[in-house]
Amino acid sequence: MGASHPEPNPTNFTGQDALFIEDFAVLCTFGATEDGGVDRQAGTPADGQQRAWFSQLLRQNDFHVEFDHVGNQFGLKEFVPGAPYVVVGSHLDSQPTAGRYDGAYGVLAAAHAAFRLVEEVEQGLRSPRYNLAVVNWFNEEGSRFQPSMMGSSVYTGKLPLEKALETTDAAGITVRDALETIGCLGTGQGPEAAFAAEIHIEQGRGMERAGVTIGVVDSNWAANKYGFRVHGEQAHTGSTLIEDRKDALLGASMLVVAARQIADAHPGVVHTSVGQLKVYPNSPVVVPSQVELLLDLRSADEEVLAQADAELHAHLAKIEKAANVRIEKFFSHCWPVTPYQIEGVELAEKSAADLGLSNSRVKTLAGHDSTNMKDIVPTVMLFVPSVEGISHNTREFTRDEDLIAGVSMLTETVGRLLEGALAEDKPVL
């Protein structure tokens, strides 16, 4: 099956816009899948290839390339010696079979916005008060190495460096070894941030339905992510009496079904899912003795999430009894609803209005590296529409014209941050 959407086509554009689409078409080739998606999990050879290409692109545009101690890739441009940086970017890594846009668009858009801003500075059109850093955060997806948003979590001090580097994938390979293998393990903590910005595809249908080109993210949904281990007992699927069984897969399946029941009980306001489930020994005629699964609950309303969480925990006790199993919680990672700084939201809205781009405030249901960055510096998060809201799927698609509008929007927003629009002692604009 070929791609169901048109390929990026630079001939529909001119100048800097055509260059962006050209570069994006090249970026789509790394880890390309037959059906028009990509497979470039963090620290894999495909990730190494795209990082090498991205370093080259940055250097060709006179940016200094640096990897920090957890593999975050920075392109640095110093305007004001010693000043902190406006850090703009996203992530190039992907889920196992993913779309081309998730993360990758935001990294390339950041680079092109930065290239344009350097030109504007050189032409005397902008007077920077900060320096400029393009970033490709390491392992945002968390598919190969958990947790997700690893690079930005270490950068923002939420995850200890050593813990991140010692994390192993399913084959026992550490983050440290994976980064060394692709030549992306640097030293140091990266540039000091003053502000941050990120642009990303929406991964939902809201903006497409509303006909809006730019989403200005004002907060993230709260999320509770859990790892559960269901303990049963191995037995013969044919001969063992039903009453004697301790079927770990039955317990796990009841948990998957319960998670959906919780979402259905809070229509539109709670999202739940199980994305990963591992069965042991996973043999045809053996009642499974152990199942591990990762379950997440999300809501824009913390009280509703607390209610959903209580329902989940009530289900656990019932399932333990019904399936004759024991359920252990081996992992939890929870984050609250947190707003993006209102001054950043307003700055973005003004920028969009000045550019004549339709826009509205939106919330992000997914986590992003900017979710981390906003906890340490004022951060602007922008969305462009996703056709049909398809996400984490090779059929993910955003139209070229929306990509282009997003680059203009990001350029303008980051340009204003660079000039000190949100500085404490900011000049009257």
Give the pairing type, strands 290-299 and 270-280. antiparallel
Helix (H, G, I), strand (E, B) or coil at 38: strand
Which of 91, 100, 116, 271 is the binder for a second copy (CB under 8 A)?
A: 271
Q: In the range 308-337, which residues lie near a second copy by CB under 8 A?
A: 323
Q: In the range 180-219, which residues lie near a second copy by CB under 8 A?
A: 202-205
Listed residue (314, 257, 249) closest to 283, CA to CA: 249
Q: Write out the two tokens for 247.
A: 């079927």
Closest separation between CB of residue 67 and a second copy, Å? 25
d(CA 217, CA 221): 11
Q: In the range 106-145, which residues lie near a second copy by CB under 8 A?
A: 141-143
Burial status of residue 267 (CB atoms within 10 A of its CB: 0-12, 13-18, 19 or more): exposed
**R_g of the chain, CA atoms, integer Å:** 23
Q: Does 287 participate in binding a second copy (rule CB under 8 A)?
A: yes
Closest separation between CB of residue 181 and a second copy, Å? 21
Helix (H, G, I), strand (E, B) or coil at 291: strand
Which of 59, 64, 163, 260 is the binder for a second copy (CB under 8 A)?
A: 260
Which of 76, 249, 404, 414 is the binder for a second copy (CB under 8 A)?
A: 249
Give every CB contact of residue 138 below 8 A, 6+ residues apart in sequence: 42, 43, 70, 71, 72, 73, 91, 93, 150, 151, 179, 184
Angle separating helix axes 45-60 and 104-122, nearest 10 degrees: 10
Closest separation between CB of residue 230 and a second copy, Å? 12
**9 or 261: CB nearest a second copy:** 261
Q: In the range 222-241, which residues lie near a second copy by CB under 8 A?
A: 223, 225, 233-241
Q: Does 267 participate in binding a second copy (rule CB under 8 A)?
A: yes
Give the pairing type, strands 73-77 and 64-67. antiparallel
Closest separation between CB of residue 140 and a second copy, Å? 10
Closest separation between CB of residue 315 and a second copy, Å? 13
Angle at 99 between CA 332 and CA 50, to 5 degrees: 90
d(CA 89, CA 134): 6
**37 or 378: CB nearest a second copy:** 37
Closest separation between CB of residue 253 and a second copy, Å? 4
Among 76-84, 243-251, 307-315, 344-352, the segment contacting a second copy (CB under 8 A): 243-251
Q: Does 422 participate in binding a second copy (rule CB under 8 A)?
A: no
**28 or 274: CB nearest a second copy:** 274
**54 or 221: CB nearest a second copy:** 221
Q: In the range 342-401, which residues lie near a second copy by CB under 8 A?
A: 364-367, 389-394
d(CA 137, CA 93): 8
**260 or 329: CB nearest a second copy:** 260
Give the pairing type, strands 193-201 and 85-90. parallel
Which of 58, 197, 254, 325 is the binder for a second copy (CB under 8 A)?
A: 254
In one-letter notation, the amino acid at residue 6 is P
Query: Measuring CA to CA, how many Å separate 242 from each of 238, 256, 277?
Result: 9, 21, 23
Among 105-113, 291-299, 369-377, 414-422, the segment contacting a second copy (CB under 8 A): 291-299
Listed residue (121, 125, 135) closest to 86, CA to CA: 135
Among 105-113, 119-127, 259-267, 418-426, the segment contacting a second copy (CB under 8 A): 259-267
Q: Return the DSSP state at 388.
A: G
**59 or 163: CB nearest a second copy:** 163
Among 5-13, 282-290, 306-314, 373-381, the segment contacting a second copy (CB under 8 A): 282-290
Which of 87, 118, 182, 252 is the binder for a second copy (CB under 8 A)?
A: 252
Which of 279, 304, 306, 337 is the binder for a second copy (CB under 8 A)?
A: 279
The contact mask relative to a second copy for 59-98 (x = CB under 8 A, - = no) is: ------------------------------------xxx-
Closest separation between CB of residue 15 and a second copy, Å? 33
Q: Give the start-end residues of each E strand in 56-175.
A: 64-67, 73-77, 85-90, 131-136
